[in-house]
Amino acid sequence: MIPPSISHFTGFAQLEYLNLRMTSGEMPRLPGNIAPLRKLKQLELSVDEGAALGCSNILWVVLFLKASPLLQKLTYRRPESPPGFSENERSERWQPEEFTHSQLKEVEIAGCVGNWFEVELAICMLQNVQGLEQMVLNPSQRYYYGGGSWIDDEQSTCLGAPRYWAERGREIVVEKLRDKVPGSVKLVLL
């Protein structure tokens, strides 16, 4: 079943760019799959605070990858990511099915502060995306809110996120990804 919040996009066979923002009220139960987006080349998936607290939102990324064989650039944005989510709180629900993707060249995880699920998503991308050229982990929580307005790091409800990234998050990511990044992938930590 295709969730109502994204079902109308599947009717656009020529859709090449999709900027989708999901909030906790719109975050449907994770379906087994979504209809193919055969021409989609660029996806920006933003998940707001309420929805970002569970790990099922990372599985949405995998669903979109499986449905978008021509996707070349993916931005997964978590604009209200709370820092310091303990690795001990890791959920057993994070079990993506195996998949491969051959067209994706660039992945950005924006709003990344070093939480376990951000690291797991990065590892998942590194293991399953052949031809990946660049992965960017960006702590900035700046995002387009709509109607011509942007939310900056200073306006975010997670004011400690940039400081946490600088003091601890970056170190966590480096440690966890140390042996996982292939030589063909440029890892950028902003």
| C-alpha 149, offset from chain centre | 22
Least confident of 48-52, 138-142, 168-172: 48-52
Contact 186, 134 (CB under 8 A): yes
For residue 77, pLDDT beyond 80: yes
Least confident of 10-24, 36-50, 127-141: 10-24
In sequence order, what are the beta bridge partners of 107? 74, 135
In the chain the first and final C-alpha atoms are separated, in Å, by 38
What is the average pLDDT across 63-85? 80
Digit-coded pLDDT (tens) for 84-142: 555 555 544 456 667 889 999 999 998 888 888 888 889 989 999 999 999 999 887 66
Task: Quote the CA–CA distance of 125 and 148 in Å, as a whole number.
Answer: 32
- The SS3 assignment for 170 reads helix
- The SS3 assignment for 86 reads coil
Which tokens is 139 given? 């702590």
Query: How many folded domains does the chain comprise?
Result: 1
For residue 72, pLDDT beyond 80: yes
Give φ, ψ of 134 to 5 degrees.
-145, 135
* Closest by Cα among 77, 5, 80, 22 to 44: 77
* Four-residue CA torsion sign, 112, 113, 116, 120: positive
Which tokens is 49 given? 């605070």
Range of the structural domain that residue 42 is part of: 4-189
